[in-house]
């Protein structure tokens, strides 16, 4: 094992070891000419190559229906790395990676459409020693899954291992997700299936597990007796970025609540796993998801943005975005009050919210503790004695901060809230890896801990189906919040009714 950082540079990094290198293998990307490959997958592969984390015997095959030669594909990928990678561009790293790249034009909708791919992969086994080990990455719209999965199933051999990465959206409701699970499991075992929720690849999301389960001080107070409520916010200032055809059919509830937000709820609410093995962690998450109580219509608020201003710039309303119906009923904002029906959390609300075109990009988990039972001081009107809040900054400004009351220096007792902060950037002084780097590497290593299991995805859909069922009966008054504001007034009422308020930003 090699040490990956010099202790002189930063003592917090002393003694860190690299995990074992992945087996030789070939990674096939379906949807190679698409947005995800360009913005996330290829830049992540480059960053892994830069750190020497890819297997020495490795091949990448881009597959799509677009006619293109390998040189053109490599050139496109080079440009994409230049534009989107988090690391500086190094010619030596790129050249080594580029040699591993092939491109295949294929249409899996036609009989025998997979043959050019099979040929290419066999060639890689011979030339680059990829040993029959295969990772297939489905970065295509769900409508293309069926043909590809069936063809891959047909062309499976007994040589080497096979893994399948499936991008979201995984279905559009419980029934379609179950059908998709059934289709995939007809050809792949559950331990060969890696369903991506890229939030799980974020360092700060994984740190949630470390914070809770590697520190003895939190577990005794992580429950209904000490915690008043939890607020989880996934706010974005961006709009739909030209993805109208996808977003019109998805909306905020399917795009973000069903996956990222509910995963954050599960990680906050779950019981301690007995170890960090994939099945142990996922067993506990699924139990938490199963315990979620379906929120009634009064506990769910939806919104859609109208025109407004983001950082001083005028932006159009959702209905004016290109490709969006002028009377669109699609929600771009959702807030809800959830309950986890178990001994740890009974009667403790989990308020969740997500939206596009909110004033800023911010994902946080705020654990608000109960107030001190009896303040033995006189509390001034202005500062007051606020409850303690443990704030987990998922992004940006990644870190954790604890709000505590402190005495203002001087005469008498005046209390103000101050923050004890841990910032990743300040402590570790290194850039955080992109979620896709971690997830692709874990899949190459065969570690499914940070991927969602079939039963988790189905539980998430069951809740979302129940949340949206009443929506079929009424037409909301959209737009109901201006771009650049914190969502519709009804979202504030949702928490004000309980005598609480959303965290101030």
We find the least distance from the C-beta atom of residue 272 to ligand BG6, in angstroms, to be 27
Whether 260 is catalytic is yes
We find the least distance from the C-beta atom of residue 203 to ligand BG6, in angstroms, to be 12
> Which helix (DSSP H) or strand (DSSP E) does residue 229 occupy?
strand 227-235
- Identify whether the C-beta of residue 184 lies closer than 8 Å to the C-beta of residue 193: yes
For ligand BG6, which is the closer residue by CB, 162 or 460? 460
Reading phi first (left if > 0) and then psi (alpha if -120 to 50, else beta), residue 244 is in alpha
For ligand BG6, which is the closer residue by CB, 133 or 452? 452
Measured CA to CA, the distance from residue 365 to residue 263 in angstroms comes to 12
Beta bridge pairs of residue 403: 389, 419
- Identify whether the C-beta of residue 398 lies closer than 8 Å to the C-beta of residue 423: yes
Alpha helices in 321-361, H assignment, sequence order: none
Measured CA to CA, the distance from residue 419 to residue 436 in angstroms comes to 31
Out of 198, 229, 260, 299, which one is annotated catalytic? Answer: 260
> Which helix (DSSP H) or strand (DSSP E) does residue 83 occupy?
helix 70-84
We find the least distance from the C-beta atom of residue 89 to ligand BG6, in angstroms, to be 23
CA dihedral 194, 197, 199, 200 (to 10 degrees): -30
- SS3 string, 394-427, reads EECCCEEEEEEEEECCCCCCCEEEEEEEEEHHHH
| Count of residues in contact with ligand BG6, rule CB under 6 A | 3
Half-sphere exposure of 396 (CA within 13 A, CB side): 5
We find the least distance from the C-beta atom of residue 425 to ligand BG6, in angstroms, to be 18
Residue 192 is a binding residue for ligand BG6 (CB under 6 A): no
We find the least distance from the C-beta atom of residue 441 to ligand BG6, in angstroms, to be 17
For ligand BG6, which is the closer residue by CB, 256 or 400? 256
Measured CA to CA, the distance from residue 505 to residue 498 in angstroms comes to 20
Task: Choose, by CB under 6 A, the member of 167, 255, 362, 437 that binds ligand BG6.
Answer: 255
Site for ligand BG6 in 122-151 (CB under 6 A): none
We find the least distance from the C-beta atom of residue 241 to ligand BG6, in angstroms, to be 8
For ligand BG6, which is the closer residue by CB, 236 or 437? 236
- List of residues 6+ apart from 182 with CB closer than 8 A: none
For ligand BG6, which is the closer residue by CB, 55 or 484? 484
Site for ligand BG6 in 442-481 (CB under 6 A): none
- Identify whether the C-beta of residue 352 lies closer than 8 Å to the C-beta of residue 336: yes
For ligand BG6, which is the closer residue by CB, 236 or 456? 236
We find the least distance from the C-beta atom of residue 256 to ligand BG6, in angstroms, to be 6
We find the least distance from the C-beta atom of residue 353 to ligand BG6, in angstroms, to be 14
- List of residues 6+ apart from 264 with CB closer than 8 A: 199, 205, 208, 232, 234, 352, 363, 365, 394
Pick from 112, 35, 32, 42: which is nearest to 66 by CA? 32
Site for ligand BG6 in 256-295 (CB under 6 A): 256
Chain residue whose CB lies nearest ligand BG6: 255
Measured CA to CA, the distance from residue 133 to residue 260 in angstroms comes to 30
Measured CA to CA, the distance from residue 181 to residue 260 in angstroms comes to 19
Residue 236 is a binding residue for ligand BG6 (CB under 6 A): yes
For ligand BG6, which is the closer residue by CB, 73 or 436? 436
For ligand BG6, which is the closer residue by CB, 114 or 236? 236
Please list the active-site residues: 260
> Footprint of ligand BG6 on this chain (CB under 6 A)?
236, 255-256
């Amino acid at each position: 094992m090699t040490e990956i950082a010099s202790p002189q540079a930063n003592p917090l990094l002393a003694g860190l070891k690299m995990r074992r290198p992945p087996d030789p293998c070939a990674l096939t990307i379906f949807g190679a000419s698409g947005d995800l490959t360009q913005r996330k997958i290829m830049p992540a592969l480059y960053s892994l190559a830069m750190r020497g984390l890819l297997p020495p015997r490795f091949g990448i095959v881009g597959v799509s229906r677009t006619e293109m030669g390998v040189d053109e594909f490599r050139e496109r990928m080079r440009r994409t790395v230049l534009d989107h990678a988090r690391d500086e561009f190094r010619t030596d790293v790129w050249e080594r990676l580029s040699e591993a790249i092939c491109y295949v034009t294929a249409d899996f909708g036609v009989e025998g459409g997979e043959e050019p791919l099979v040929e290419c992969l066999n060639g890689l086994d011979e030339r680059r020693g990829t040993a029959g080990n295969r990772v297939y990455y489905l970065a295509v719209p769900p409508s293309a899954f069926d043909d590809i999965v069936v063809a891959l199933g047909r062309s499976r051999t007994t040589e080497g291992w096979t893994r399948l990465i499936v991008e979201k959206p995984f279905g559009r409701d419980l029934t379609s997700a179950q059908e998709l699970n059934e289709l995939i499991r007809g050809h792949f075992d559950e331990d060969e299936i890696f369903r991506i929720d890229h939030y799980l690849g974020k360092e700060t999301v994984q740190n949630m597990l470390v914070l809770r389960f590697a520190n003895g001080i939190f577990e005794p107070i992580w429950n209904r007796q000490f915690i008043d409520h939890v607020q989880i916010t996934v706010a974005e200032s961006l709009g739909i970025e030209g993805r109208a055809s996808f977003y019109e059919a998805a909306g905020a509830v399917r795009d973000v609540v069903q996956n990222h937000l509910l995963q954050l709820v599960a990680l906050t609410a779950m019981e301690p796993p007995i170890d960090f093995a994939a099945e142990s962690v996922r067993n506990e998450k699924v139990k938490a998801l199963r315990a979620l109580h379906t929120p009634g219509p009064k506990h769910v608020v939806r919104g859609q943005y109208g025109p407004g201003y983001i950082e001083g710039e005028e932006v159009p309303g959702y209905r004016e975005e290109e490709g969006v119906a002028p009377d669109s009923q699609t929600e771009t904002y959702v807030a809800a009050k959830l309950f986890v029906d178990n001994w740890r959390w009974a009667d403790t609300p989990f308020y969740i919210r997500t939206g596009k075109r909110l004033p800023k990009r911010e994902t946080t988990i705020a654990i608000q503790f109960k107030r001190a039972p009896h303040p033995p001081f006189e509390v001034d009107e202005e500062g007051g004695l606020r409850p303690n809040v443990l704030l987990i900054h998922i992004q940006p400004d990644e870190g954790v901060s604890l709000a505590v009351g402190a005495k203002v220096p001087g005469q008498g007792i005046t209390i103000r809230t101050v923050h004890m902060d841990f910032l990743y950037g300040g402590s570790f002084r290194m850039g955080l890896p992109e979620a896709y780097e971690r997830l692709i590497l874990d899949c190459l290593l065969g570690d499914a801990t940070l991927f969602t299991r079939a039963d988790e995805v189905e539980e998430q859909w069951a809740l979302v189906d129940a949340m949206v069922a009443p929506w079929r009966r009424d037409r909301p008054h959209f737009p109901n919040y201006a771009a650049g504001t914190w969502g519709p007034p009804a979202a504030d009422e949702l928490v004000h009714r309980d005598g609480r308020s959303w965290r101030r930003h």
